[in-house]
Amino acid sequence: MQAEGLEQQTGALTLALSAKDVSTFLSALENTHPADIADWFVNLENEDKLTALSYFDRDWAAQLIEYVTGQDVEDMFRFYDEETQRAILQRLQDDDRVDVLQDIEPGFRATLIALLPAAERGTTETLLEFPEETAGGRMTTSFASVKENRTVRQAVKNLRRLHHDSETLSRIFVTNEQNQLIGEVRLRDLAFARRSTLISEIVEPNVPSIDAHADQEEAARMIARYDVLALPVVDDKGRILGIITHDDAIEILEEESTEDIEKAAGISGEQSEDSYLNTSVATHFKRRVLWVLGLAFAGLLSGYVLLSFEGVLGSTFLLALYMPMIVAAGGNTGGQAATMVIRALSLGELKPGSLVAVMAKELSVGILVGGVIATAIMAEIFIFQPDAMEGTQISLSLFAVVVGCSLLLQVATSTLIGATLPLAAKSMKLDPAVIASPAITTIVDVSGLFIYFTFARLFLGI
């Protein structure tokens, strides 16, 4: 089943749906992965969605709902009767169930939870108490564990009984009598060890674990870093509460990357659970307008700087030719520096303590980049504008020096500003990604105008 076959499969679904041919529809489902069905489903017209829902049996609905997000989750549940709602909820793993319920408005969510048998209801409610962004809010409670003072024989017997409940058996966590995590054993080790061996004799200590209240991103980074299939989640006493699995780690890291990318562009608020096209214009609008509006007023500052240099600009209007470029060069290099530093912080390569090292590096880079651009633009002036200063008191060389020095200083300071602000945010316990590139651009727009016209006034005597 490679990508090429995918369009054929969803095409068959569409045909069967419009022909209202249930049996062809169900057999087309058999050949398609639930993730692909979900993708096809969420892009249907509303009427077709309802028809499709009426064709799915409970098994399909449960499989599908794991891959559907946002409003579609709630719509699906509302379509089915109570019996089916319960069946769908029970068929889900507990972390997937919590994931799904988090997409549903609180009142209806409570109604759905009440349908569950007591044990599953309790687990679900406990998991829902952890904030969505924490390790606890992302974990599953179905994992394999054994006590250290059991023998291999007892452990195997217990695990066999729990077998079908465990999302992964490849790692089995070992706890002491207080249920504190002390290490792990592998299924393979159990298989090869003598049956009378104590678990404590074959346990591997030093298993990475994470506090339930830690940020989910930290959990995902640990899974990536230590190449583990599952990371145990513990409470403040070190007792194991659950595990976060590798597929959650991928999802979390993708969400965090999207968040960083959006913040860098000045897009505020939480990313929509829905895809780009399924997100409403109103939501898109709300997430974008704030920064743009704020920066528009901040941009007036540049305007005032410009107004204050009316005399300078008026006397040598050729300065206007290089003005947009000098200003923009600062925004571009500042944005680059901020991007590098924010990503390095996000990947854990930098700490706020690295400030001096970062500043030294960025100042060098800024001077090099600024030097190259200044040289290139000064050459442009001598080659393409040889007569620019004719009829004035100003020599062409002096004019070129003003443009060149401004570029160098603007690029060097902008690079420094771009690199420093995210580190400053981090050391104030803020997310460094709040330093959006447009904000840096707005700041260095002001400094660029100021540098340029001040140099012009000083060097050109205007």
Q: Enumerate residues 300-359 that contact a copy of itself by CB under 8 A.
A: 300, 302-304, 306-307, 310, 313-314, 317-318, 320-325, 327-329, 331-333, 335-336, 338-341, 343-344, 347, 349-350, 354, 357-358
The per-residue b/e assignment along 382-397, b for 16 or more CB within 10 angstroms, e otherwise, is eeebeebbeeeebebe
Q: How far is the CB of 141 from a copy of itself (least distance, A)?
A: 18
**Cβ pair 217, 252 in contact under 8 A:** yes
| Paired sense of beta strands 181-186 and 210-211, if any | unpaired
Nearer to a copy of itself, 110 or 300 (CB): 300
Q: How far is the CB of 235 from a copy of itself (least distance, A)?
A: 12
Give the footprint of a copy of itself on residues 7-66 (CB under 8 A): 30-33, 35
With contacts defined by CB under 8 A, name the span among 74-82, 142-150, 165-173, 423-431 that binds a copy of itself: 165-173
Nearer to a copy of itself, 16 or 378 (CB): 378
Distance CA 410, CA 387 (A): 26
Q: How far is the CB of 82 from a copy of itself (least distance, A)?
A: 29
Nearer to a copy of itself, 216 or 442 (CB): 442
**Cβ pair 162, 144 in contact under 8 A:** yes
Among residues 203, 244, 262, 316, which is the contact residue for a copy of itself, using CB under 8 A? 262
Q: CB neighbours of 398 closer than 8 A, spacing ≥ 6?
A: 459, 460
Residue 29 buriedness (CB in 10 A; 0-12 / 13-18 / 19+): buried
Give the footprint of a copy of itself on residues 167-186 (CB under 8 A): 168-170
Query: Three-class SS of residue 186?
Result: strand
Q: How far is the CB of 153 from a copy of itself (least distance, A)?
A: 18
With contacts defined by CB under 8 A, name the span among 17-25, 55-63, 73-81, 205-213 that binds a copy of itself: 205-213
Helical residues (DSSP H) of 178-245, grouped into ranges:
187-192, 199-202, 216-226
Nearer to a copy of itself, 116 or 231 (CB): 231
> Is residue 275 a contact point for a copy of itself (CB under 8 A)?
yes
Nearer to a copy of itself, 116 or 436 (CB): 436
Distance CA 244, CA 210 (A): 9
Nearer to a copy of itself, 14 or 168 (CB): 168
The amino acid that residue 147 corresponds to is K
Helical residues (DSSP H) of 130-184, grouped into ranges:
135-138, 152-162
Give the footprint of a copy of itself on residues 277-296 (CB under 8 A): 277, 281, 284-285, 288-289, 291-293, 295-296
Among residues 121, 147, 246, 457, which is the contact residue for a copy of itself, using CB under 8 A? 246
Q: How far is the CB of 145 from a copy of itself (least distance, A)?
A: 17
Give one DSSP letter per residue of 267-294, joined into a string: --SPPPSS-TTTS-HHHHHHHHHHHHHH
Site string for a copy of itself, 111-150 (x = CB under 8 A): ----------------------------------------
| CA count, 13 A, side-chain hemisphere, 434 | 11
Distance CA 307, CA 146 (A): 75
Nearer to a copy of itself, 199 or 338 (CB): 338
Q: How far is the CB of 411 from a copy of itself (least distance, A)?
A: 7
Helix (H) or strand (E) holding 234: strand 230-234
Long-range contact set of residues 201-208: C-beta below 8 Å, sequence gap at least 24:
202/152, 203/148, 203/174, 207/173, 207/181, 207/183, 207/232
Give the footprint of a copy of itself on residues 184-203 (CB under 8 A): 188
Give the footprint of a copy of itself on residues 59-88 (CB under 8 A): none
Q: How far is the CB of 207 from a copy of itself (least distance, A)?
A: 6
Give the footprint of a copy of itself on residues 367-426 (CB under 8 A): 368-369, 372-373, 376-377, 380, 407, 411
